[in-house]
C-alpha cells in the first residue's frame, strides 16, 4: 500500500513545484527536468537494500506527476491558432504542422495515451522479465526524454509572457471549479485503483484467469481506449465522450461488483469466470475513452492564458490528493465492506 500511495504524495509536491517553475522558466526547461525523478527512482530500485529506501525512491519518482501540469499547458499553447499564425518563427516546420488548431484535442489526448502505453509496458515487463532486469528496460525512456527535450523549441506564449499575472476573473474561477469537479469524478470513478491493483482485483473477484495475463489485457485495453478517444475528440466533442464514458463505466463496475458479490455468497460461477475480465476490460476501455483523458484537456482549454498554469497546478494537486485517498483507503474499504461494495461505490 505504501509503495502505491507514496508515489501520489510525491506527485502532490510535483504538481505544486512544476506549476511554479512553468511561470519562471517557460515550458521546455521544466519539462526536461521531469526525467530526473524517474531516473532517480529506477536507480534506487537497482541499489536499494531495504523497503524504506524503495519508499523514498518512490516518493521522489512521484515528483514526475508535474507532467500533468506541464504537458497540457505546452499542448494548449502550441495548438493555439492565433500564435501559430503570428509566431511561426519560434517553431520548426514540423512543429507548425502538428500545431494545427483543429487537432488540439488529438494532441491533448496524446499525453494520457503515452502514459497508458507505459503502464502496458510495465505490465508486460512484470509478466515476462526478471524483476532485476526491469529497471534497465525502463530507465532508458526518461534518459531519452531528457535528451530530446534539449532540442525542443519554447512556445511563443512562454516567450511573450508578461512577468506578472492579472487578477483572476469570475469566468476563470468558474472554469477552474469545473476542472476540479471533473478531476475528482475521474479519480473516484476507480480508474487509478483498477489500474494499479488489476491483478489482485481479479483474484479477489473470483476470476480464474492468470493475474498477470489479466493485467496485460487491461493495459492493452487502456491504450486502445485512449487511442479511440484521440480519434474522436475533435469530431464528436468532449461532452459526448464524457457522457458515453461515464455511463459505460458505471454499468461495467456494477457488473464487476455483482459478480464479486455472488462469489462472496458462495454461488458456483465457474462457467462465468470470464465476467470480471470482460467487465473490467470494458471498464478500462470506456473510462479511457472519456473520463480519464478529458479533465486535463478540458482545463487547459477553458482557462485563460494568464491563469492556466496556476489552474492546472491546482487541478492536478487535487487529482493527486484524491488518488492518494483512493489508494490508501482501498484496503480498508475492501476489508470493511467487501470488494463488491467498493466497486458499486465507484460505479
Q: Which class is domain 2-156+171-346?
A: mainly alpha
What integer pLDDT is reported at residue 284 of this predicted model? 82
- Distance from C-alpha of 22 to C-alpha of 45, rounded to nearest angstrom: 29
What integer pLDDT is reported at residue 98 of this predicted model? 46
What are the extents of the domains in the chain?
A: 2-156+171-346
- Distance from C-alpha of 146 to C-alpha of 39, rounded to nearest angstrom: 10
Q: Exposed (0-12), middle (13-18) or buried (19+): which is 235, by Cβ within 10 Å?
A: exposed
CA 183 vs. chain centroid, Å, equals 11
Cell 466497486, residue located: 343
What integer pLDDT is reported at residue 83 of this predicted model? 47
DSSP characters over 90-149? GS-HHHHHHT-GGGHHHHHHHHHHHHHHHHHHHHHHHHHS-GGGHHHHHTHHHHHHHHHH
The stretches in the chain having pLDDT less than 70 are 1-5, 23, 66-70, 72-73, 75-109, 153-173, 175, 196-212, 214-215, 304-309
Q: Which of 47, 302, 48 is nearest to 181 (CA)?
A: 302
Q: What is the CA radius of gyration of the chain?
A: 21
- pLDDT for 271-296, tens place per residue? 777 777 788 778 888 888 888 877 77
- pLDDT for 31-85, tens place per residue? 788 888 888 888 888 888 888 888 888 888 878 776 666 676 676 666 555 444 4
What integer pLDDT is reported at residue 346 of this predicted model? 84
- Distance from C-alpha of 60 to C-alpha of 36, rounded to nearest angstrom: 9
Q: Which of 180, 186, 220 is nearest to 303 (CA)?
A: 180
What integer pLDDT is reported at residue 104 of this predicted model? 60
What integer pLDDT is reported at residue 306 of this predicted model? 62
pTM for this entry: 0.66
Buried/exposed 261-295: b ≥16 CB within 10 Å, e otherwise: bbbeeeeeeeeebebbbbbbbbbbbbbbbbbbbbb
Amino acid at each position: 500500500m505504501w509503495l502505491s500511495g507514496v508515489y501520489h504524495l510525491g506527485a502532490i509536491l510535483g504538481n505544486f513545484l512544476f506549476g511554479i517553475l512553468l511561470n519562471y522558466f517557460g515550458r521546455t526547461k521544466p519539462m526536461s527536468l521531469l526525467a530526473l525523478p524517474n531516473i532517480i527512482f529506477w536507480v534506487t530500485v537497482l541499489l536499494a537494500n531495504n523497503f524504506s529506501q524503495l519508499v523514498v525512491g518512490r516518493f521522489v519518482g512521484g515528483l514526475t506527476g508535474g507532467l500533468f501540469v506541464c504537458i497540457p499547458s505546452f499542448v494548449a499553447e502550441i495548438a493555439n491558432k492565433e500564435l501559430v499564425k503570428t509566431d511561426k518563427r519560434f517553431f520548426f516546420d514540423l512543429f507548425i504542422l502538428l500545431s494545427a488548431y483543429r487537432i488540439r484535442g488529438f494532441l491533448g489526448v496524446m499525453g494520457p495515451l503515452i502514459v497508458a502505453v507505459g503502464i502496458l509496458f510495465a505490465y508486460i515487463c512484470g509478466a515476462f522479465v526478471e524483476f532485476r532486469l526491469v529497471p534497465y528496460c525502463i530507465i532508458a525512456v526518461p534518459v531519452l526524454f531528457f535528451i530530446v527535450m534539449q532540442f525542443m523549441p519554447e512556445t511563443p506564449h512562454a516567450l511573450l509572457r508578461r512577468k506578472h499575472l492579472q487578477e483572476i476573473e469570475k469566468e476563470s474561477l468558474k472554469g477552474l471549479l469545473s476542472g476540479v469537479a471533473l478531476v475528482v469524478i475521474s479519480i473516484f470513478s476507480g480508474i487509478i485503483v483498477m489500474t494499479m491493483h488489476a491483478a489482485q482485483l481479479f483474484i479477489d473477484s473470483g476470476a480464474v484467469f492468470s493475474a498477470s495475463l489479466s493485467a496485460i489485457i487491461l493495459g492493452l485495453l487502456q491504450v486502445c481506449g485512449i487511442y479511440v478517444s484521440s480519434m474522436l475528440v475533435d469530431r464528436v466533442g468532449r461532452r459526448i465522450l464524457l457522457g458515453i464514458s461515464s455511463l459505460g463505466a458505471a454499468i461495467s463496475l456494477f457488473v464487476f461488483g455483482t459478480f464479486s458479490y455472488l462469489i462472496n455468497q458462495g454461488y458456483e460461477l465457474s462457467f462465468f469466470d470470464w465476467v470480471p475480465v470482460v467487465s473490467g476490460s470494458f471498464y478500462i476501455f470506456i473510462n479511457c475513452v472519456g473520463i480519464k483523458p478529458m479533465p486535463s484537456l478540458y482545463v487547459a482549454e477553458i482557462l485563460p492564458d494568464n491563469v492556466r498554469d496556476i489552474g492546472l497546478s491546482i487541478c492536478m494537486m487535487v487529482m493527486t490528493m484524491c488518488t492518494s485517498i483512493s489508494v490508501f483507503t482501498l484496503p480498508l474499504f475492501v476489508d470493511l465492506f467487501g470488494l463488491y461494495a467498493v466497486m458499486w461505490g465507484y460505479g
